[in-house]
Structure 1
Amino acid sequence: MKKLTDFEIEKKLESLEDWDFYDDAIHTDFEFDNFKDCMSAMNRIAFECEALNHHPEWTNIYNTLDITLKTHDAQGVTELDFKLAEAINRIVEVEE
């Protein structure tokens, strides 16, 4: 998978709400009403990750979820990261 240029990444971010690009990865965070809702979203996201065979770096503290996406094989951001980010946004939007 081809690593995207900084310009390509910034252009794609224009249509991807609440994601930022830094440290060769795209990042977002979500805050839920409680721990249960956060874990529910993480479980739904996990199924999408498995389907795409692409897995995030993420941390959860109580009701917050921080997500970092990059394609390690490409040493940066690829189309696959954006595909997963879009799926994550759809999942979290449904949860809210």
Structure 2
Amino acid sequence: MKKLTEKEIREELNKMKGWSLKGNVIEKTFLFHDFKEAVNFLNKVQPIADSMNHHPDVCIYYNKVIVQLTTHDAGGITDLDVELAKKIDELLT
């Protein structure tokens, strides 16, 4: 899988609300009412990530979930990361 250039990444991020470039990852923070909602969100992310065989790094802080995406094999961000980010966003629309 081809690693995206910084220009390509920024072009994609401009189309996506809330995602930002942080080094070799794209990242978004999701806020929920409480811990239960945050965990339920991650439970919805899990089957999507499994079906793509591409898994995000996540941190959960009570009602806040930070999702980071990168393709380790490519050494950076690929189309797979962008695709998964969009699918994660679709969970909340």
Q: Give the match's secondary structure for 2:4.
A: coil
How far residue 72 of structure 1 moved from its aligned partner, in angstroms, is 0.1
Cα offsets for 1:17-53 (capped at 9, x unmatched) = 1000121110000110011111000000001000100
Q: Whole-Å Cα distance in 2 between the matches of residues 71 and 46 of structure 1?
A: 17
Q: Give the match's secondary structure for 1:28.
A: strand
Counterpart residue identity of residue 64, structure 2 = T
Report the TM-score when normalising by structure 1. Answer: 0.94
Unaligned runs of 5+ in 2: none
Structure 2 match to 1:60: 60
Counterpart residue identity of residue 70, structure 2 = K
Counterpart residue identity of residue 23, structure 1 = G
Counterpart check, 1:82 vs 2:82: yes
Q: Give the match's secondary structure for 2:68.
A: strand
Q: How many residues align?
A: 93
Q: Percent identity?
A: 35
Report the TM-score when normalising by structure 2. Answer: 0.97
Deviating above 2 A after TM superposition, structure 1's stretches of 4 or more consecutive aligned residues are none
